Amino acid sequence: MITIAATQFASTHSYEGNVSKAIEMVRSAKREGADVVLLQELFGGDYFCQEERYENFALAEEEDKSRLLKTFSALAKEQEVVLPVSFFERDGNCYYNSLVCFDKDGRKIGLYRKIHIPTGECYEEKFYFRPGDRGFQVFPTKDGYNLGIAICWDQWYLETGRILTLKGADFLLFPTAIGSEPVLKSDTSRHWTNALCGQAALNIVPVVASNRIGTETASSSSMTFYGSSLLTDEEGTILRQASRDKEEILLCSYDVDAIREKRRTWGIFRDRRTDTYGDILK
């Protein structure tokens, strides 16, 4: 049995405050029995992508020099939990929206760079990030289960969940930052929830998503993130879902072997017809 925690909290508008809050959430989740703790996208600061500002590039860190990664590697070891850590990565002259996953001994399992990069009012990510160049990543833990992890906008692409599952993922995890849509002027929370449930149902793999909460104001814009972090079962049924505006930690326990057996018996992967799927690449 593996217990996974989804968390959500509002930005404190300071690096130190956000890191302290994230550490507190991880420790609280561990006390409740978590083996894996998922924190939200770019939790070390405000969601700076609201605006195109060149000075924000100074927020990026090189992986091997990152104080954020050093802190959470030590925390993973201290608390004996698996921690996927979202961060703004600089690699030479290139910048990525990235994630490093640490095993419960603090060892780095691997690095993922967000593949699908959105653009639009208040989601100006193409200004900051290159598309990921390492493909979809599955992180094998020392306890024998595999985490398929992608980031926010990736979750809207059905190919993400299918490829991660084909690569052996036992769970799909999505750190997220989603809320106001100033152009669409609509509430996308239900659509977002349905997309996540669809990823789970189509691949027979539980999905876990951690979103931000609270209102963050930049110089010329403001966004309210709608939380609603969730955990599903392998059929796409929501087991736990958070509120839109409260700091929360949600936990669910899963029988990995039973879920693997269900996935085998359904035949979804047996009956795939890759010879007929060429049109999807056009």
Pull the structure tokens for residue 167.
Answer: 């690569």
Residue-by-residue pLDDT tens, the chain, 282 positions = 999 999 999 999 999 999 999 999 999 999 999 999 999 999 999 999 999 999 999 999 999 999 999 999 999 999 999 999 999 999 999 999 999 999 999 999 999 999 999 999 999 999 999 999 999 999 999 999 999 999 999 999 999 999 999 999 999 999 999 999 888 888 999 999 999 999 999 999 999 999 999 999 988 889 999 999 999 999 999 999 999 999 999 999 999 999 999 999 999 999 999 999 999 988
Point out the catalytic residue in the list 30, 41, 101, 104. Answer: 41
Q: How far apart are CA 218 and CA 214, in angstroms?
A: 13
Point out the catalytic residue in the list 114, 122, 124, 248. Answer: 114
DSSP strand pairing (213-217 vs 2-8): unpaired
114 is catalytic: yes
Report the predicted TM-score, pTM, of the whole model to 2 decimal places. Answer: 0.97
- Residue 209 backbone class (left: φ over 0; alpha: ψ -120 to 50; beta: rest): beta
126 is catalytic: no
Point out the catalytic residue in the list 101, 152, 197, 252. Answer: 152
41 is catalytic: yes
- CA distances from residue 186 to 182, 191, 218, 222, 224 in whole angstroms, order as listed: 8, 10, 21, 15, 12
Q: Report residue 46: phi and psi, to 5°.
A: -65, 160
Q: Hey, how many other C-beta atoms are within 10 angstroms of the C-beta on 132?
A: 22
